[in-house]
Amino acid sequence: MNKLKIVFAGTPQFAESYLSALIKSKHDVAAVFTQPSKRSGRGLKFTHSPVRNTAQSNNINIRQPEKISIKETDALIEINPDIVVVVAYGLLLTKEFMSVSKYGCINVHPSLLPRWRGAAPIQRAIEAGDKLSGISIMQITKELDKGDIIYQEPISIGDNDSSISMHEKFTNIGIDALLLTLESILESNFMLHPQDEKLATYAKKITKEEAKINWEETAIKIHKKIMAFNYWPVAETLLSGERIRIHESEYRELKINGIPGHIKSIKDKHIEVFTKDGLLIIKKLQKDNARVIDAQNFINSTDLKGKNFE
């Protein structure tokens, strides 16, 4: 056997990149599991997941269950894959489902497990100020993100990395890691490494309520939140009562601080705002029902005299 018969389970754009890479590889993608399509918009038309769209355009069998049931396990038995590859699927797999394929189910997870198990590992790593993250490929078990590690590849997080830029890093490096892992499985040339429970942390799901900026926090903490929540839910604040969403920022230390939320200056194409400790430099922002613009265009179109962020 020089290739694997794969069933792929995933839903968002992040997962679609991995599916596309598997389709182009020597392996055979026999079927795809993805979350059900949802109605949205004025016409309540069905919105399909990126994974479904790619599977459909490549004539791959698609299954979209509400949950993994006995019916889905029976379908997997009929497909008879060598392995199930899971990337950001969003549904829990049953023990019966996981035991069908020869090599079980493996998951591509965007963190250096056991750090940041859970729903939002990329955002939580940035928000926490981590300098290092990585791709982990693990065997899936019934307990969330606790399976043995097959392969890990570290990925650095820069001071101004956002969730968007980190997604790109995780995609590029993760695809190579996945293909390398599949090759090692084919050759029976891999080892399983148990996770150290003492090092485990949990990346809880992001909520919209977290997006509100507190100017009484430090500049670096606010900056990390802004970059972590870009692209969703996007950090927000009030500018003299008007809601403003901040998409990109930097920060700088100050020897003397002003009143948190007060604008220090609007020079050099940036809006500089005092925080509890340090200066937040706003680079891209957005008014309600308007497009994202850079700080200079915002300055040109908005009278900031006497206004402060709340």
Query: Is the pLDDT at 268 greater than 80, yes or no?
Result: no
Residue-wise pLDDT for 114-132, tens only, equals 999 999 999 999 999 999 9
Helices (H), the chain: 13-24, 50-57, 70-79, 95-98, 121-127, 163-186, 219-228, 295-301
CA separation for the pair 299, 244 (Å, rounded): 13
CB 287 within 8 A of CB 244: yes
CA separation for the pair 308, 240 (Å, rounded): 6
96: three-class secondary structure by DSSP: helix
Question: What pLDDT does 238 receive?
Answer: 97
Q: pLDDT-derived band of residue 225, with 50, 70 and 90 as boundaries?
A: very high
Residue-wise pLDDT for 51-100, tens only, equals 999 999 999 999 999 999 999 999 999 999 999 999 999 999 999 999 99
Residue 306 burial (CB count, 10 A): 7
pTM of the model: 0.92
Instruction: Provide the Cα torsion 178, 14, 110, 22; round to 10°.
Output: -10
Question: What pLDDT does 27 receive?
Answer: 97
Residue-wise pLDDT for 136-160, tens only, equals 999 999 898 999 999 999 999 999 9
Mean pLDDT of 195-201: 97
Query: Is the pLDDT at 45 greater than 90, yes or no?
Result: no
Q: pLDDT-derived band of residue 41, with 50, 70 and 90 as boundaries?
A: low
Among 173, 280, 133, 175, which Cα is nearest to 124's? 133
Paired tokens of 148: 């043995």
CA separation for the pair 106, 17 (Å, rounded): 17
Q: How far is CA 86 from CA 8, 101, 174, 205, in A?
A: 6, 13, 13, 19
**End-to-end alpha carbon distance in the chain:** 63
Tokens 């056991």 belong to residue: 114
Residue 42 makes CB contacts below 8 A (sequence gap 6+) with: none
Question: What pLDDT does 305 receive?
Answer: 86
Question: What pLDDT does 38 receive?
Answer: 83
Query: Is the pLDDT at 9 greater than 70, yes or no?
Result: yes
Percent of the chain, pLDDT > 70?
Answer: 98
Question: What pLDDT does 255 receive?
Answer: 84
For the chain, which domains are there? 5-203 (3.40.50.170), 208-301 (3.10.25.10)
DSSP 99: T
Query: Is the pLDDT at 32 greater than 90, yes or no?
Result: yes
C-alpha angle with apex 135: 137 to 75, nearest 5 degrees?
40
Question: What pLDDT does 24 receive?
Answer: 98
Q: pLDDT-derived band of residue 269, with 50, 70 and 90 as boundaries?
A: confident
Mean pLDDT of 156-185: 96
Q: What count of residues does the chain have? A: 310
Q: pLDDT-derived band of residue 7, with 50, 70 and 90 as boundaries?
A: very high
- The whole-chain average pLDDT of the chain stands at 95
Q: How far is CA 97 from CA 16, 60, 92, 192, in A?
A: 22, 20, 10, 21
Q: pLDDT-derived band of residue 257, with 50, 70 and 90 as boundaries?
A: confident
Question: What pLDDT does 43 receive?
Answer: 63
Among 55, 47, 49, which Cα is nearest to 8's? 55
163: three-class secondary structure by DSSP: helix
Question: What pLDDT does 39 receive?
Answer: 72
Question: What pLDDT does 42 receive?
Answer: 65
Question: What pLDDT does 309 receive?
Answer: 96
DSSP H/E element including 243: strand 242-252
Judge residue 139's burial from the number of C-beta atoms within 10 Å of its C-beta, 0-12 exposed, 13-18 middle, 19 or more buried. middle
Among 245, 15, 222, which Cα is nearest to 126's? 222
Paired tokens of 39: 């109605």
